[in-house]
A = this chain, B = another copy of it.
Amino acid sequence: MRRFGQIIGIDPLQVEKYKTCHAAVWPEVLKMIKACNISNYSIFFKDNLLFAYLEYIGDNFEADMAKMAAHPKTQEWWAIMELMQKPLSTRAEGEWWANMEEVFHLE
């Protein structure tokens, strides 16, 4: 299992819309997340920042991410979310949500 922590900004004017969307994520999008071996996935909000925690339980992360990215309904969902998000300027090449470095873990 691989753990991920990711961070992204959010437009302060879009926080309520973002929350409303995430209280009712499209079933096709949720199903694809599970099909791509992502588990125990949470998103937290404070001060115009979003933090995501997720666990990858498959054995080919790159292939699963490519599968998710190729899914039309997921692409449609992301297009709506991206309008509300403000990615960090310090994110790595190719990232939208920026990956964080795990500095501690206790099982």
Which residues of A does B touch, CB under 8 Å?
Answer: 3, 5, 7, 18-19, 22-23, 25, 30, 33-34, 38-47, 49-51, 53, 88, 90, 98-107
Contacts and interface: CB of A to CB of B under 8 A. Distances in A.
Contacts of A50: 103
Indicate how many identical chains form the complex. 2
B7 A43 contact: no
A41 B105 CA distance: 6
A44 B102 contact: yes
Contacts of A44: 5, 51, 100-103
Contacts of A7: 46-47, 49, 51
A103 B19 contact: yes
